[in-house]
Structure 1
């Protein structure tokens, strides 16, 4: 999540293991059960017609095609020099078992900020998409015109993009490199002429979760947006960006003009991205939203959908986990809530009864500043960040009807975000389980990451789940 300047004075001398704040009488107590109904969702307006018309106009491509055509290269092994773990500024850091670095343009960009992560272990019980084991990450566009002073007109908010990474298949001749490809998320609509078009998705994308064909994206103040892996549209199938392609409906598509998006004057644009992925559905909170977009939270009403993940530990009852990012203080002591929503394994969509998706549980978080949450076999895992200090990985279990800390603080990377569990159960006898995450801060001095013990840098990383559980 974005850091707030107001934290600096209050947290400069803080450490990650500070005691929980006292709460006034009647306030929400960290770890207590929360009202599960606050997480209830209902379906938003149908977008099926718009999506069908777009698919009639533009060809589709599958996830494996994206991986085969990856035009950027992530580094791993000794080639991945970025190290946001350092030595840790609050105890010994837990070094990752796996680590991937973005290519230079993505590692250093000020425009795009990495946030969410998911993978095929969320999507499929066999943990394979065809023959691949892709990871997917989400970035939001910071959309600051000061970043493009030469031509501010090209700095429109591009919304959210995904990165599809194949972490297993080395690039031929480069064993430390892996291919990945960006896809722009878009929202379909009918324009004033009644033609299907699309626009940028205005989201923070703090969490994403993939189940079967559907990709869920956290919509902070509203609930969830849903996208379909079967509806990835290709605006440059001939792979020659210099020439506008003829579309299925006889028009043209242009992947050179960065300033334009959607159908304009009978040409389809995409802010230069070859692939766009239209929203197919949404879920809205049933309860009224009492939060603002600020970091502080309220204890009742609809929560903020700051981050999400999938719990596949019970094959009969898969669940989507949703939680809040909150910056608590003496005036707003609430540390946020985390809830669980049922998934219909037959369809891959959330399970609704009478048009309402009914949450199965909710708790007040034991700690504030939570950036990501995952649950597996009854254990919750939480990522917390503290400005430019080392991050904190916490564990919790439901004990005596309350969600309470399990074990101590685990120091991890600077700027940790969303969480994803690779459950590793598809191999005979079970495989290695991993807890995946990613970091958001660029490795430069302007972020304040100049302390040798807590450097910045953008990476995707994974801890062995057994290593996390073995920590005291």
Structure 2
């Protein structure tokens, strides 16, 4: 079972017995493993290993659910934000500290979750994306939302007879507007959770849905579609036009009447989906059903261990969108690997084309054909983004200070660019706010941290502090580093 300060990438990939001290050293000064490899870190990888094919058609179940439950849009969720994040100076959580080498890169922007989300043991934040991925003008209506993903740790040790934390609720999203102050609270920003669900027809032929038990280590939003990494399988796809509202009257104490004359209940934490003609949601007002999926064509070469293999389908550990011109829109996918001398693989990163007309991945003959793939220069990679030919990688292990690495394609290989940049403890997925829509706009590299602040050994107030924040570095600050 995952302990508090194990990287949640290790929820599926933890290899027992690897020392924290060794990990800290690897993060500070990584050394290539001595065993001979078929391909060295940074070499081109077999692109076809990343190829995908569409999964089962879920449209009929989603259509049936939308005739039963009303739909809302992203702006509605932002308007109905029932939690408040604090921003910048009012966000006092600081997971950056001094770093392992005293040269930490402080963020240009930072937001703190409310107390419940900052301290929950049940939910672990992982993925991040935003409207700059989704829209060329970087606006959803008049808003600039960020979206993050959390997975349910579902630890039996957290359960009591009536706590309601025992059911594995799967994955939830947080929709947050970092730009619009809360009325009367200038340092506050509203946000709202929504639960991801998988639709299906139950044994009575009625449309229902269930929780999605995946890690959600990376998410990426393009046009209406939200892509979610499904580690050993590929990608799950959700449509922002299909957000279902189980409590439109905003009175949770009374079950609402649904569009098909049944009821919806947002007070019973133990139930999900349609049961006895009532729709449940583990108490979440909003649920977002999956509309599609993409499966790896190649056989999966990896198991649930943290270590990776060099061939076969990769793990979909994290994803992002490359919108840099003149590059066609591209989904970047990479894998987390906890390597050692017995398992020297660092992981791979690939690029998948997006059809800009539909917002879905571009298929040729029923296959999404990868445009490029490389072995990663470094292991322990928790997030990747690419912009104007520069790759950015977040690396972290347990409660050590993380590191931000850069790399470029040089002489046909993906090689390190510049030196290590020390950043927050527990950094995860990456998202680029590209600023292309407005001349002179600041470009940001966004991420988020996973560890809640507490007194667990290894987390300190200075060198390696823990705490959950959303944060952004200016791209110009990163590129100015040697």
TM-score bucket (shorter structure) = over 0.9
Superimposed CA distance per residue, residues 75-106 of structure 1 (whole angstroms, 9 cap, x where no aligned partner)? 01222110000111134100000000000000
Residue in 2 that maps onto 1:369: 380
- Give the structure 2 partner of residue 432 of structure 1: 442
Structure 2 counterpart of 1:173: 184
Indicate how the Cα distance of structure 1 residues 153 and 453 shifts in structure 2: closer, same or farther if over 3 A, else same.
closer
Q: Is the counterpart of residue 323 in structure 1 residue 308 in structure 2?
A: no
Q: Which residue of 2 aligns with 1:349?
A: 360
1-structure distance, mates of 2:163, 2:87: 35
Structure 1 position 98 matched with structure 2 position 109: yes
After superposition, the C-alpha distances for 1:360-396 in whole angstroms (9 at most, x for unaligned) are: 0000000000000000000000000022111000000
Q: CA deviation at 1:9?
A: 5.0
What is aligned with 1:412?
A: 423
Q: Distance in 2 between matches of 1:8 and 1:418?
A: 24
- RMSD of aligned alpha carbons: 1.3
User: Conserved in 2, the CA contact under 8 Å of 1:28 and 1:334?
Assistant: no
CA-to-aligned-CA distance 1:223-248 (integer Å, 9 cap, x gap): 00000000000000000000000000
Residue aligning to 1:280:
291
Equivalences for residues 443-462 of structure 1 within 5 A: 443-446=453-456, 448-450=458-460, 452-462=462-472
Residues in 1 aligned to 2:427 and 2:238: alpha-carbon distance in whole angstroms: 25
Q: Which residue of 2 aligns with 1:199?
A: 210
Show structure 1 runs of 5+ residues with no match: none
Residues 314-351 of structure 1, C-alpha deviations (whole Å, 9 max, x = no match)? 35611000000000111110000000000000000000
Q: Which residue matches 2:4?
A: none
Alignment of 1:116-155 (within 5 A): 116-151=127-162, 154-155=165-166
Report the CA distance between 1:454 and its aligned residue: 1.1
Task: State the match for 2:474 in structure 1.
Answer: 464
Unaligned runs of 5+ in 2: 1-6
Q: What is the rounded CA distance, in whole Å, between the counterparts of 1:154 and 1:99 in structure 2?
A: 29
Counterpart position of 1:380: 391
Distance in 2 between the 1:13 and 1:214 partners?
37
TM-score scaled to structure 1, two decimals?
Answer: 0.98
Helix, strand or coil: the match of 2:181?
strand
Aligned to 2:87: 76
Question: 1:197-246 deviations in whole A, cap 9, x for unaligned?
Answer: 00001110000000000000000000000000000000000000000000
Paired residue for 1:337, among 348, 354, 366? 348
Task: Report the equivalent of 2:3.
Answer: none
Once the 2 structures are TM-superposed, how far is the Cα of residue 10 of structure 1 from its aligned partner? 5.5
- Alignment of 1:313 with 2:324, yes or no, is yes
State how far apart, in whole Å, the 1-side matches of 2:112 and 2:183 are. 18
Distance in 2 separating the partners of 1:50 and 1:253: 18
| Partner Cα separation in structure 1 for residue 20 and residue 406 of structure 2 | 28
Contact 1:23/1:29, CA 8 A, preserved across alignment: no
| Mapping for residues 214-225 of structure 1, pairs under 5 Å | 214-225=225-236
Change (3 A) 1:23 1:347: farther
Contact 1:16 1:392 in 2 (8 A): yes
